[in-house]
Amino acid sequence: MPDHGDTEQAERELVPLLSQLIAGLFPHFPARNAASAPAVLAGIGIAVPQTTSWAATSARLSSEELVRLIEPVRFEREARYWAGVAASASGTLSFGGGAKDSGGRVADAILGPDTDHGRRIWGW
């Protein structure tokens, strides 16, 4: 948050969006698919601030736009969607890598559906 921000502002802007995102992702958690992987959750966490009034980019998104970018993501635990983005596939698919590096790739993929990684997680 910028220096002029406060916790009340953060709460007003983030709690409704995070509640909506968690509710939308909730069915994926018991299935233990990619949505429950730390790198994927980190990537979503990196993308969320792009909806705030303190977004560091000029390409600020509305909450609705971010939800529309996340909804079509293929959360199946399959290499064709996640290898090279949030997982590695050398025989078996592993989401065991660093959430920091992989989270950045996931955020880039969510925010850039026309990129190679974006097309991958959307199943294009």
Q: pLDDT tens across 31-41, in order?
A: 888 999 989 99
Arithmetic mean of pLDDT over the chain: 88
Domains held by the chain: number: 1
In a domain, 1, yes or no: no
Using pLDDT thresholds of 50, 70 and 90, give the confidence band for residue 90: confident
Global pTM reads: 0.87
In a domain, 98, yes or no: yes
> Are residues 36 and 82 in contact, defined by beta-carbon separation less than 8 angstroms?
no
Q: Which amino acid is at 118?
A: G
CA angle 73, 77, 82 (to 5 degrees): 60
Range of the domain at 47: 7-122
Q: pLDDT tens across 51-77, in order?
A: 988 887 777 899 999 999 999 999 999
In a domain, 2, yes or no: no
Residue 56: partners with Cβ closer than 8 Å, 6 or more residues away: 49
In a domain, 91, yes or no: yes
55, 28, 46: which is closest to 100 by C-alpha?
A: 46
pLDDT at 3 over 70: no
Alpha-carbon gap, residue 96 to 113, rounded angstroms: 24
In a domain, 99, yes or no: yes
> Are residues 21 and 44 in contact, defined by beta-carbon separation less than 8 angstroms?
yes
Compute φ and ψ for 95, nearest 5 degrees: -95, 25
Alpha helices per DSSP H over 1-124: 7-25, 38-47, 63-70, 79-82, 99-111, 116-122
In a domain, 48, yes or no: yes
